[in-house]
Structure 1
Amino acid sequence: MTRHPFRDPTLPVPRRVEDLLARLTRQEKVALLHQYAPAVPRLGLAEFRTGTEALHGVAWLGEATVFPQAVGLGASWNPELVEAVGRVSAIEVRALHAKDPMVSLNVWAPVVNLLRDPRWGRNEEGYSEDVLLTARIAIAYCRGLRGDHPYYVRTAPTLKHFLAYNNETGRDVTSSTVRPRVLREYDLPVFTQPIAAGVVDAVMPAYNLVNGRPAHLSPYLNGELRALAERDLLVVSDASAPSNLVDSEHYYDDHETGHAAALRAGVDSFTDHGTDSSVTVARLGGALERALISQEDIDRAVARVLALRIRTGEFDPDVDPYAAISETALNLPEHRALARRAAREQIVLLKNSGDLLPLSTGTGLRVAVLGPFAEELRADAYSGTMPYRATVADGLRRALAPDGGEVVSTNAADRVVLVVRGTGRPVRLAADGSLTCAPGPDGEPFDRLDWGQGLSTLRSVTTGRYVTVKTDPTDDDLAAGAPAPRTRADRLTAEQLQPTGWFVRETFNLIDQPAGTTVLRHAQLGTYVVVDAETDELVATARRPQDAEQFSLRMVRPGLAHARELARDADVAVVVVGNDPHIIARETLDRDTVALPPAQEELVRVVGAAQPRTVLVVMSSYPYAFPDDLVPAILWTSHAGQETGDALADVLLGRYAPTGRLPQTWYRSDEDLPDLLEYDIIKARRSYLYFEGEPLYPFGHGLTYTTFDYGPPQVVLDGATVAVTLEVGNTGKRDGTEVVQLYSRPVDPSVVRPSRQLQAFARVELAAGRSRRVELTFPVSALAYWDVAVGRHRVEPGEYELMVGRSSAAPQVRARLLVPGEPTGGRDILGIDVRAVDFDDYERVALVDTSRESGDAVAVTGSGAGWLRFRAVHLDRAALRMTARVGRLEPGEATITVRRDDPVGGAVLGRLRVGRTGGQYTWTTVSGGVDAPAGTYDLYLVLAGEQRLDSFRLDVS
């Protein structure tokens, strides 16, 4: 058989791609653009797919090492650890690939969307609300996933989800308004920095729109991102997003046009219609026939797919350095050890009054572990299957057993039997797991867990399994294309290990009735539970509440009273509360509130009153708000995987001193947060950078079991680098690790700047009584902001305060730094086309798309007038004429009023009238006289009436 050049590993990748591309037919090329690409037998190409989920270990493919959630990895503030987690995750992807070649080596991780709002349903998937921390952790994880070979990659990491994606509410139809400063200072760097570091092979666009344009059509894909990539950057679509361009977003009228636009914008691999590639192939083929795309467009995309396949070693199994990883490289002892280390390092000690922690472990210590996660661990939507589960109670039992310690536990749920009011029969558990009211022995006791917002789960005491609504096939099966016939409709069974799936079927609304009974409404289906007259099974088929079965809840054991009793009789109580990752908030569902569920807060209150030595463990995917004076000690952990319980035991008992630090702000209440869809962190004073209130716990916060002292800092500005050196000493009696954090702020900025911004951090391990010199460095360019007047980053000259401490709100020492920077006068605008979006401030406007392909403009929102402020504009001569590029859909007229220094009372310098232009992307220019005197002052454009403004210009005549 002839050995073609594309199979020659001594050739550079571009040459191999060129050869293979030339051998493919047009039809074969188009087929390679779907996620599931067919084999090309005549060339020896196997089937191929993009996408294996590996956010914190390998997901969806059975047993694999489960590491802490991404937000937990962010809380470690330890890039070296995260790189090791990435390395093991990639090894296990390779192991599964060795077993099944259709397990893709293109991994869809990490998620680098910033955690600007803790109510986001996918908060668990991101690392931090801070750019620097997110970028450093992401680079480390990608480096671990990718390996360090110059030619081949262990796996090919994919950054998700580009761009400005932080809401599940209407995620495929809402538009994130992101002005240039927020884009350049906040949202864009977490993508550009890992790409510039050379550790990224692919990017996935987001579901949402940005400034009115679907993210899958972003001009930044081919522009900003690919300009930074050292080699081919693959762009893979999110699931169904190409179809969304027509079906939900109505951005295009037909799918051939939408798919063509996505391909031209830079999308190379279309994740749509599951494993069925025929729809995508037909649409792209049709677009090619209609000349909406060219063969060159197809070839560019296919070339990037082929380059990735070559880099993953598909064609070179004999020389690929990672090909020797076998299917046995799963859940190895060293992987389990790393999982425990990662779970330990992400735990954050939030409070420790009276030095309750670490717990003294004298002989016979009795610990009561209470709450919904006392004896359970949870996997999330992007977890693998845990090979084992070390719960909190398990971990403490193992740790205390050698000294005769004892652990008692309860989930603190009310234990009830459901009794059908009409017949008096209790609900029983049949042999096949279904729930029935047929005559028989006593009813099955269920633990009712209240998760807040009216949602409860019912867990069988006999089997430990959760009640679900079983429909054959389930919605999850149907979504995957399963053709299985429906046998029994919507019957209740107790068979789920935990609530799970894209369509969660384990949550119910238990609605109390005036007569003292309760009806059960299935939360996902919206139907009510009745007893099937023929089979006596419980089924969720009633459409109206008046048709629902009436149940009495016979109390077997009240949960709070039982928890109080166990706590009172123990030496120490550990209350473990938090969220189930599939309930309240998840992908497709945001939280309504940051408050701890009332039932959980009441549990903490009751136990804290009964047992003064109570530790609260918040096990959650996101921050909570709650009274923090109910107990003396509080820990936070993410859902940290298979080793969670052993890791918590290590920390609680002092075998490991906590080193985690919060990767995002914990707010005191919902009132501290703006609207979920508010993406302007500057205007809304959002995130620790701009927040002006007092948080419950600040970004970077975390305590440990010893104390540290900071010496006076020495600051040196050496060319393009700032170096801050200081002595850090462990002044306590225990060894420990301090996370030294360096923040900056401009002392007298000319524009709104962060009141604190992380510039560097270092983990410092010190024995008790020892100290060491610590140097923190950062580039002067990190002090820059995006200057809309000149369209680039600029370091403003002046004085900067540097703050070093243990959190964003706890600076221990301060220093001043004088930076020469780049001086600027007023903003010259005379005779210059000024983009409307390059404003300094605004009210009642949103950003929209200038065209479907590129450009941003400004549109008025609501019924009142909006305005734009352009700060310190400089006119060396008086301007007598203004021209504006505008668009207006409605009939009649709108106006642009030019004012000086104030949008309401400022002197009117001129007014332009805007008539109807006809189409959303139909633009025209309007002109009129103005009387703008020479000088430097703030210029306001007041926009009244429906209109779009793309740009404006002032001229002397």
Structure 2
Amino acid sequence: MTAHTPPTPPFRDPLLPFAKRVDDLLSRLTPDERIKALHQFTPAVGRLGVAAFRTGQEALHGVAWMGPATVFPQAVGLGATWNPGLVRRVGEAVSREARAMRARDERVGLNVWAPTVNLLRHPLWGRNEEGYSEDPRLTSAIATAYTRGLRGDHPLYWRTAPVLKHWLAHNNETDRDTTSSSVRPRVLHEYDLRAFRDTVEAGAVAGVMPAYNLVNGRPNHVSPYLREQLRTWTDEELLVCSDAGAPSNLVDSEHYFDTHEEAVAASLRAGVDSFTDHGTDSSVIVGRLESALRKGLLTEADIDTAVRRQLSVRFRLGEFDQDPPAEEHAFDTPEHRALAQEAAEQAVVLLKNDGLLPLAPASTRIAVVGLLADECKLDWYSGALLHRSTPLEGLYERFGAERVEFAEGVDRVLLRTSAGTFLHVPPAPDTPDAAPGAEGALDPALLAGRTDLAPLTAGPDGTELALVDWGEGLLTLRAPDGRYLSVAEDGYLRASADQPGGWIVRETFRLEPHGDGHLLRHMGTGRHVLVAADGVKVAAPDTADEPGPEAFGEVSGEVSGEVFGLIVTEHGEETVARAAARADAVVVVAGNDPHINGRETEDRTTLRLPAQQELLLRAARAANENTVLALVSSSPYAVDPTDLPAVLWTAHGGQAAGTALARVLAGDVSPAGRLPQTWYADDADLPGLLDYDVIGSRQTYLYFEGTPLFPFGHGLSYAAFAYGGLTARVGPEAVRVSFTVTHTGAVPADEVAQLYTRAVDPSVPRPRRELVAHRRLTLAPGETAEAAFDVPLSAFAFWDVAVGRWRVEPGRYELLAGASSADVRQRTVLTLGGEPGVPRPVLERGLDAADFDEQSGTEIVDRTRESGDSVTPVAGKPGELLFRRCDFGSGVTEVTVEVSGGGTVELSLDGGPVLATLSPQAPTSGPYDYVTLGASVDGVHGVQDLRLGLRGPLRLARVGFLPG
């Protein structure tokens, strides 16, 4: 007899459409297996030969957390290139490395959680480094390019499956899991949704991740916009992956639901398909889902829908095909290394240049100084460096070590105990107790995270420590051989880190005045440092005095920490001044450490440069007028450039950061990066961090009416460019715009040609100017290129709250072509027909409270847990809503309001007396228990502006009118 070969199941047949294969595999999974598939870590199904699957692999600017990988510039740096073509190549490199790394380590996932498309609305957001721009069109252009690169070019199979973060209106880390972003409909459609929509519609997105915050009072993990907006933009089965721990937050911190069963059921029904919660332990989420199913909160169809979406992604990744198309999966190739350098070079923005740059490599003696001069910083989403280049190393390489002098500018200190001894750092293993810069000192990267090293001790011979002040009282301490002092889980203080880092940073401290000395508080644990017989450590939890509410100032009373005397052996600004005085030019490298004073979980508090770095900058400038400020940072700073001849900015540029900066300084590369967000001159120019109304509070370059320090799109060059011949031709679907850019300088260079529009006489507040197209051009001296764009007519539309949809308003529109939002070189005006506006048809439609034209003292909240908006006064304030051009026809006799809670609604015509006051006889039983109230009105007719006053703790959902 011949052995019987079982038939190949349809889900293994590569000739069938994916949809049929998904349905077949889904039908073979048991109910238990389907529920288990909803956790981030989906177990294998051995009987079907289906492997385990994990959603989520961080890949924001390289493969992260999985060991060495090519590290590209931070996302905000990629945004500063204004070059979608380059960014697409970066995405391709990252996806190839993800595949190559997975071939060696199955823990590397192919469902990548990148890019972040949250708009950089507020520069104090702690995660500013993760986004691309404050502008939705630039953000979507860069994000679309990156996702296309991550997806790959194969017509059927995806190299990786990108998931966009973080849905929706997420721009604060402060109380991020409990704060609500109040987003009016115009801001929702014109701003926050736009970046997501354009990227999803481009067709290279596998899904999205909801954000921790709430929007209009409702957690993003139960957002109705997932169904009402996101899933209408594409025919693809999008996979929605929860953020880590967010499903539990719905009950534990947000108290939005009473039980976890209700929470997971509501999330699943809203559109969440994969639950990232409780780490690798899927039993908790699976148990909640099983309980929700038994209680009737979910149906099997709900579960099947989510599993189908996950399986769709797995099929697109080629997982179930024995012979998917062969593809070379390269890793750390010369091409990737060159691309990392190219990206870092294109990200450099020249903010000011009075002729000092470029420096002359053959004759210039350079002093390179500052806290970041010899640093190559990584952020939370970086991979481990295979190669690295600091600004100092880059300048050594380009100018020659003999022509470059280095002064870090840190204070060198000894810490003396109350017993008269000094803190001492034991030598690194198998290494002499090396002096600063000594040959043979152990590479500190080999020590990162180790707990087997000897802890610090106290003795007669102290170790001189580098005290690095990062601002706001936060500092790091570093041994002479480069090792940072760190406190591990066992509480001992060791020189055991190569950089500050980790989810909880273990390398930051604060000096607190106490008597004649200082207590040293370790910020990772909140405890003071003490000296014990077995080594230096932090006080135990049961004996440590608890820190105050981030107000670590003068400490009195009993304390468990050691009181240290601070002996400064060398002042950093003095070393900087000496080096600067000996040089022909000084490069001051300043900025931030991405793990300190602003990062995920922590917003920044100021735009100001930290005081110690400002001191170093001024010391350098006083000693040498040829001082260049090179800012290397994740976010904008408010610096005074008045007496500085040259200023540059770049985000942390990954492995090639130093080489790229040196090549720009030397003139090997003409800088052409452009600012992806406004740089404000002062903290006073900023709105509140939680004010998401970019229209009402005049935020970003779109609406800001002040004078920025540097405007959106700004960036200078070593070359010069002339613009000419701007023309615009209106077609049935788009406006054909073209203009020329001519290189009038002497060196090859890139120019970023930018096209903006503005409505000349809008009936509602519109952007002062709005980016509609851009192109990065590479031109030789004397060369002319045409920049031509088809600008869709929809680019001129706004969200009309009167009719609840997009509308192009007829009238004149100005087109502005130039080198930045403020540097306009050519302009012309065109007239569009559009659709005339009409007064609000309030008799037919009524008024949704959130569709106001203007407001003060209110916020938008959830009408129900499932959908809809209401408006409520901000606690303790009177609220006002204004609805313009309401058409009351020949007159109305009664007004009705749908409200919950308790309080009063006052109705008046704008500028007139109160015509009606409506208030429940008693507060309703809950925020979602609405009642309809009515009142007679007189004299309300024709087209008039309507004003509503909201008083007390009520929610207003709708207003209706009955004709006379």
Q: Which amino acid aligns with 1:436?
A: L
Q: Which amino acid aligns with 1:522?
A: H
What displacement does 1:321 show?
4.2
> CA 1:847/1:453 → structure 2, altered by over 3 Å: closer, same or farther?
same
Confirm or deny that 1:923 pairs with 2:930: yes
Aligned to 2:211: 206
SS in 1 for 2:670: coil
List gaps (5 residues or longer) in structure 2.
1-5, 429-451, 546-554
Aligned to 1:413: 410
Confirm or deny that 1:279 pairs with 2:284: yes
What displacement does 1:715 show?
1.7
What displacement does 1:433 show?
4.4
SS in 2 for 1:887: strand
SS in 1 for 2:228: helix
What displacement does 1:855 show?
0.7
Confirm or deny that 1:188 pairs with 2:193: yes
Aligned to 2:531: 531
Aligned to 2:755: 742
CA distance in 2, matches of 1:538, 1:35: 38
Aligned to 2:913: 907
Cα offsets for 1:315-354 (capped at 9, x unmatched): 11412444x53xxx3211110000000000000000001x
Aligned to 1:486: none
Confirm or deny that 1:436 pairs with 2:430: no
Cα offsets for 1:626-680 (capped at 9, x unmatched): 1112421111010110100110111000000001000001101110001100000
Aligned to 1:896: 905
CA distance in 2, matches of 1:320, 1:18: 23
1:422–1:550: 8 Å Cα contact kept in structure 2? no
Aligned to 1:301: 306
| Mean CA deviation greater in 66-75 or 772-781 | 772-781
Aligned to 2:619: 606
Aligned to 1:631: 644
| Mean CA deviation greater in 146-155 or 678-687 | 146-155
2:265–2:289: 8 Å Cα contact kept in structure 1? yes
Aligned to 1:375: 374
CA distance in 2, matches of 1:775, 1:308: 37
CA distance in 2, matches of 1:576, 1:926: 64
Give the alignment partner of residue 850 of structure 1, picking from 860, 863, 876. 863
2:362–2:399: 8 Å Cα contact kept in structure 1? no
SS in 2 for 1:951: strand
Give the alignment partner of residue 464 of structure 2, picking from 445, 450, 454. 445
SS in 1 for 2:383: coil
Give the alignment partner of residue 125 of structure 1, picking from 125, 130, 136. 130
Q: Which amino acid aligns with 1:72?
A: G
Aligned to 2:961: 954
CA distance in 2, matches of 1:764, 1:83: 16
Confirm or deny that 1:389 pairs with 2:388: yes
Q: Which amino acid aligns with 1:263?
A: L
SS in 1 for 2:640: coil
Q: Which amino acid aligns with 1:297?
A: D
What displacement does 1:58 show?
0.3
What displacement does 1:614 show?
1.3
1:437–1:538: 8 Å Cα contact kept in structure 2? no
| Mean CA deviation greater in 725-734 or 28-37 | 725-734
Aligned to 1:481: none
Cα offsets for 1:668-718 (capped at 9, x unmatched): 111000110000000111111000100110100000101111124112112
| Mean CA deviation greater in 734-743 or 690-699 | 734-743
What displacement does 1:308 show?
0.8
2:471–2:611: 8 Å Cα contact kept in structure 1? yes
Confirm or deny that 1:89 pairs with 2:94: yes
Aligned to 2:727: 714
CA distance in 2, matches of 1:368, 1:385: 29
Aligned to 1:692: 705
2:458–2:531: 8 Å Cα contact kept in structure 1? no
What displacement does 1:932 show?
4.1
What displacement does 1:945 show?
1.9
CA distance in 1, matches of 2:643, 2:851: 49
CA distance in 1, matches of 2:575, 2:16: 71
Q: How does 1:471-550 map to 2 (within 5 A)?
A: 471=489, 489-515=490-516, 517-532=517-532, 534-541=533-540, 543-544=544-545, 545=555, 546-550=559-563
- TM-score (norm: length of structure 2): 0.94
What displacement does 1:518 show?
2.3
CA distance in 2, matches of 1:940, 1:456: 53
CA distance in 1, matches of 2:322, 2:672: 42
Q: How does 1:33-182 map to 2 (within 5 A)?
A: 33-182=38-187
Cα offsets for 1:396-446 (capped at 9, x unmatched): 111123xx8522212210011222132334433255644433446x32111
1:348–1:662: 8 Å Cα contact kept in structure 2? yes
2:206–2:239: 8 Å Cα contact kept in structure 1? yes
SS in 2 for 1:839: coil
What displacement does 1:160 show?
0.4
CA distance in 2, matches of 1:397, 1:115: 35
SS in 2 for 1:297: helix
Aligned to 2:444: none
Give the alignment partner of residue 479 of structure 2, picking from 440, 444, 460. 460
What displacement does 1:220 show?
1.2
CA distance in 1, matches of 2:786, 2:544: 69
CA-atom RMSD, angstroms?
1.4
SS in 2 for 1:635: strand
Aligned to 2:333: 332
> CA 1:348/1:917 → structure 2, altered by over 3 Å: closer, same or farther?
same
| Mean CA deviation greater in 697-706 or 569-578 | 569-578
Cα offsets for 1:41-77 (capped at 9, x unmatched): 0000111100100000000000000000000000000
Q: How does 1:554-569 map to 2 (within 5 A)?
A: 554-569=567-582
Give the alignment partner of residue 860 of structure 1, picking from 855, 862, 873. 873
- Count of paired positions: 921
1:65–1:386: 8 Å Cα contact kept in structure 2? yes
Q: How does 1:662-811 map to 2 (within 5 A)?
A: 662-811=675-824
SS in 2 for 1:636: strand
CA distance in 1, matches of 2:383, 2:939: 64
> CA 1:820/1:709 → structure 2, altered by over 3 Å: closer, same or farther?
same
Cα offsets for 1:793-848 (capped at 9, x unmatched): 10111111111111111111211111111112322211423211111111111111
List gaps (5 residues or longer) in structure 1.
472-488
What displacement does 1:373 show?
1.2
Q: Which amino acid aligns with 1:47?
A: A
